[in-house]
Amino acid sequence: MNEKKGKRRLRILIAFTICIVIFIFAAGVGGTHVFITTFNQTTKESMNNEAENYKRRIQRQIRGNFQTLNTLASVIEVSEMNKKPEFAEALKKVDSQNDFLLFGYFDLEGNGTFSRSGDQQYTTLSKVNPEVQEVVEQNFQGKNYWKIRMRRNVCGRNIIQLQAGRT
Tens of pLDDT, residue by residue over 116-137, are 666 677 777 778 777 777 777 7
pTM of the model: 0.52
Name the residue with higher pLDDT: 46 or 64: 46
- Provide the sign of the torsion angle of the four alpha carbons 11, 17, 22, 27, taken in this order: positive
Least confident of 44-58, 94-108, 138-152: 138-152
> How many independent structural domains does the chain possess?
1
15-41 pLDDT tens trace: 999 999 999 999 999 999 999 999 999
Alpha carbons 158 and 149: distance in angstroms, whole number? 6
Across residues 88-98, what is the average pLDDT?
74
Q: How many Cα neighbours within 13 Å face the side chain of 144?
A: 14
**Which residues have CB under 8 Å from 76's CB, separation 6+?**
82, 87, 105, 166
Q: Which domain holds residue 47?
A: 2-163
The mean pLDDT of the chain is 77
Name the residue with higher pLDDT: 140 or 6: 6
What Cα–Cα distance (Å) separates residue 102 from each residue in 13, 24, 68, 74, 140? 82, 66, 15, 19, 19
Alpha carbons 147 and 150: distance in angstroms, whole number? 10
Name the residue with higher pLDDT: 11 or 114: 11
Name the residue with higher pLDDT: 80 or 144: 80
Whether 162 and 146 have beta carbons less than 8 Å apart is answered as yes
Highest mean pLDDT among 2-16, 38-52, 68-82: 38-52
Per-residue confidence (pLDDT) for residue 156, from 0 to 100:
52
Task: Count Cβ atoms within 10 A of the Cβ of residue 68 and give its class: 0-12 exposed, 13-18 middle, 19 or more buried.
Answer: middle
Whether 159 and 151 have beta carbons less than 8 Å apart is answered as yes
Whether 135 and 43 have beta carbons less than 8 Å apart is answered as no
